[in-house]
Structure 1
Amino acid sequence: MTVRWIRAALAGAATLALGLTGCGGDQPAATDGGGPVTVFAAASLTGSFTKLGKDFEAAHPGTTVTFNFAGSSALATQITQGAPADVFAAASPATMKIVTDAGDAAGDPVTLVRNQLVIAVPKGNPQRVGGLADLGRPGVKVALCAEQVPCGAAAKTALGAAGVRLTPATLEQDVKGALAKVKLGEVDAALVYRTDVRVAAGELDAVEFPESAQAINDYPIVVLKHAGNPERARAFVEYVRSDAGRAVLTAAGFQAPQSQ
């Protein structure tokens, strides 16, 4: 029995040694956890982050990425009220500040990309909107984001720079809502991000206007303090900031941060 036990022990040790050798560089996959990552992200990031999430999952087997897309201010409120999330990507520093002021960020946010406003109009631009001044014409119905939403704050800045006053037909809680009003024919135009009109290029046209340069939004991103999967959360942030991530974001129409 003693000899058999010794042989079995030696065989087990040899098998374990071979297993460890065979794993080599793959072994850290067991230590960095895998598992789920929950990302709260601005509605305007929906298309690009959905793709990046799939790419990240493919590059990190065992990881699943779940998104909550909405207006940044609503997301910030959810986070500060205890909603479980690992990463927050906001459409403005002001909405990110809600989270950092509450002590819910793990470290300092970094600027991921920038975005610029355009006027979204139906295909063919039936109202012949050429700039912000045309939005104030009688009979032109306009959708804006609410002021507490980053796209709404940017719109207010741009309209102020142009000296244009208008009463919007509707105020939406995120940029997707404003865009939907144009698609449905409920309004003639909406002030939204360039990236959103690019996604809907088959249905809408984008009218550029010079005042948008004074209302460009920086998009900060941060790992959250109470992240359930902080290691994978950091890996996701690194991935979206990598060359591969930036390629997806710039293809969607986002601009690189000023520092780059």
Structure 2
Amino acid sequence: MPRTAPRRLPAVLAAVLVLPLAAACDGDRKDSGSGAKERTTLTVLAAASLTDVFKQAGAAYEKEHPDTKVTFSFAGSQELAAQVRQGAPADALVTADTKTMDGLAKETGTPGVIAKNRLTIATAPGNPKKVEGLADLSKADLKVVLAAPEVPVGRYSKQVLDQQHVAVKPVSQEPNVRAVLGKVSMGEADAGIVYLTDAAAAKGKVATVAIPDDQNAVASYPAATLKGSKHAGEAADFVRWLASDEARKLLLSAGFQRP
């Protein structure tokens, strides 16, 4: 008996040590399984001109809804529409025009306009080329960049130029408004037509030349849930929130107009 006790001791000690460890592991699994609710991640496809304000909006929404995380994919509205038609996994859509949204009626819930915007002419800081209005964009020595005509801001730009009978030969046609702004801010173009809000976001990097209201175009931003969303309830909550007073304050402070 005295000789067998020492041989049994390690096994007994091992059992004593393993049991608390197993219990701790079981406790961890229970905590993770029965603790805080797992966060729902919403993917929102949004027009490029909403980039800055929607980052603020997403943070504000998550603060109010800690069980939801909002991620954004920003691009030109026509690119977003293509993604929706191809079945890209997303929960909500916000475009910079009603035409694009209307073309996706089979894929979306009922849209509602959350904000509006207007156009302005962006130039290099100090406006060295002395651009005074839309008519000056036709000057042969001026490098003008516009968004492509299938992009909402490109379509709005064509509309205002055609109404004023201004013929412009752009040095490039860009896929979204941020690309137009980038060309001007980097000195690759002398001028471009962008939204007021994008020019405001690039303050110091570009100057602006106002387009009078009677020569301007109004861009409407509709938001809608996507029927393919796996989080229909949460997506509907977010879209409703975009029309709330808090969201509207953020949009107005960024230079957008009331819907």
TM-score range for the pair, normalised by the shorter chain length? 0.7 to 0.9
Give the corresponding residue for 2:47: 42
Q: Distance between the aligned counterparts of 2:242 and 2:212, measured in 1?
A: 29
Q: CA deviation at 1:87?
A: 0.5
Residue of structure 2 in register with 1:236 after alignment = 238
Where in structure 2 are the equivalents of 1:111-130 lying within 5 Å? 111-130=113-132
Query: Per-residue deviation at 1:62?
Result: 2.2
Q: Residues of 1 paired with 2:113 and 2:243: CA distance?
A: 9
Contact conserved, 2:119 with 2:216, CA < 8 A, in 1?
no
Deviation >2 Å, runs of 4+: 211-214
Q: Give 3-state SS (helix, strand or coil) of 2:42's partner.
A: strand
Cα deviation, 1:32-59, whole Å, max 9, x if unaligned, reads x841111000000000111100111111
The one-letter code sitting in structure 1 at the alignment partner of 2:114 is L
> Contact (CA 8 Å) 1:34, 1:232: kept in 2 or not?
no
| Aligned positions of 1:100-115 closer than 5 A | 100=105, 103-106=106-109, 108-115=110-117
Match of 1:210 among 199, 206, 212: 212
Matching of residue 87 in structure 1 with residue 89 in structure 2: no
Tell me which amino acid in the other structure corresponds to 1:64.
K
User: Percent same amino acid among aligned pairs?
Assistant: 42
Please tell me the residue identity of whatever aligns with 1:86: D
Does residue 1:227 correspond to 2:229, yes or no?
A: yes
Unaligned runs of 5+ in 1: 1-28
Based on CA coordinates, which of the two structures has the bigger radius of gyration? 2
Q: In the alignment, what sits opposite 1:12? A: none
Partner SS, residue 168 of structure 1: coil
Kindly provide the amino acid, as one letter, of the partner of residue 119 in structure 1: I
Residues 62 and 79 of structure 1, relative CA distance in 2, 3 Å threshold? same
Indicate yes or no: 2:259 matched with 1:254.
no
Q: Per the alignment, in what secondary structure is the counterpart of residue 241 of structure 1?
A: coil
| Alpha-carbon distance in structure 2 between the residues aligned to 1:56 and 1:112 | 15
Question: TM-score normalized by structure 1?
Answer: 0.83
AA aligned opposite 2:180: A
When normalised by structure 2's length, the TM-score is: 0.84
* Separation in 2, partners of 1:92, 1:49: 17
Distance 2:75 2:218 in 1: 19
What are the equivalent positions in structure 2 for 1:15-26 lying under 5 Å apart?
A: none
Number of residue pairs aligned between Structure 1 and Structure 2: 224
Q: CA deviation at 1:212?
A: 6.6
Q: 2:118–2:216: 8 Å Cα contact kept in structure 1? A: no
Q: CA RMSD in A?
A: 1.4
